[in-house]
Each structure stands twice: as structure tokens, then as C-alpha cells.
Amino acid sequence: MHGPVPALWLLVALCAATGAYGLLRMRSSVEAQRRTAGGEALMGFGMAAMAVPAAALSPPRWAWLAGAVVFGAAALQALWAARADRLHLHHLVGASAMVYMAAVMAGGTHSGPPVLTGTLLAYFTGYVLWTGTRLVPVAVAATEGASRNTRGARTVQLADRPELACACRLSMGIGMLAMLLTM
């Protein structure tokens, strides 16, 4: 990616952290968490790899094409999974945006069709605002619904924290906005 190098490294760290939390959520005791966690981990790590500053690493064309293929497969999987859970529609848009960005980078240009870029920017702006408004009520509900241990303290497994999952989705949405703005 092109842009201020320190900001890009922060984006790499943020996306890698959300990918790592996605891997942790794959061990959750809550089935719904496990179903979405793998795709979110892939998205986080893929975004981290894509955000590496061009000054540090300039991948060859085939690497961008491979990324487009991987995220194309993820988009198809999200499309299939969306039949049962509409949350996967967001995964479909996210994976499609990654295909788009990888294809643009494989083409050697750093800007795609303005209408498509603008549409994705509008979608992710709306998603970030919507997810941000959901974050506060989720945090309150998670604290109230936590179980108590033998000493009366509340315990919640780290992988089962809905507010952390929501914060990771918010972070990835902001990261996607940052990546699209550099195109």
C-alpha cells in the first residue's frame, strides 16, 4: 500500500491483532462465534498483509493474483453461508473488496474505477457507523450476562466476548476504509 509509512504499520498491527482474535474465537464454545471467526481471521490477516508499506515490501504481480483468488474463494463461501445467516453478506462485501483491491494492485495501478471505490467507501462508512453504535449496548449486555465464579466475580471466556468481536469488526471496517482511501 502507499501512504504514510507509520500509519500503514499501525494498520498492519491492528489488522493482524483482529486476525489473531478471530483465530482465538474459533475455539469458542459458542457455535455462532466459531462459524464467523474463520472468515474474520482470514480477512484480518489478509488486510494486514495488504497494508504492508510498499517501501518495505513490494510483492510481485502473482502474489496479488493469489490474494485475489483466495479472497474470491472466501467470497463464494460467504455467499453460500449467507443463505443461513445474513451476517455473511458483510463478509461477502468485505471479501469482494479484497478481491477488488488485489486485482487493482496486480494490474500495477493504484486506483480502480472511482464509482466502485466510492460505493465501497460508502458501504464501509455506513458499516463503521452502524457497528460503532452497536458497540456500547453489546458491552453492557455482555457484562450483565456474565456468569459468576465461586467468589462471586464475573467470568467470561475471552473467545466468547461479543463486544470484542464487535470491536474487531469495527477495526476491520475502519482498516478497510483506510485501505480504500489510499486507492
Strand partners, 154: 148
pLDDT tens-digit series, residues 59-105 = 889 999 999 999 999 999 999 988 988 878 999 999 999 999 999 98
* pLDDT for the residue numbered 155: 55
Contact predicate 21/182, CB 8 Å: no
| d(C-alpha 180, C-alpha 52), whole Å | 14
* pLDDT for the residue numbered 158: 67
The residue among 161, 132, 168, 159 whose CA lies nearest residue 18 is: 168
* 42: pLDDT strictly greater than 80: yes
* pLDDT for the residue numbered 147: 47
Predicted TM-score of the model (pTM) = 0.82
Q: What are the backbone dihedrals phi and psi of residue 182, each rounded to the nearest 5 degrees, phi first? A: -80, -5
* pLDDT for the residue numbered 151: 52
* pLDDT for the residue numbered 52: 92
Contact predicate 53/9, CB 8 Å: yes
pLDDT tens-digit series, residues 22-38 = 999 888 887 777 878 88
* 48: pLDDT strictly greater than 60: yes
pLDDT tens-digit series, residues 135-169 = 765 445 445 444 444 454 555 576 677 788 888 99
Mean pLDDT confidence for 165-178: 92
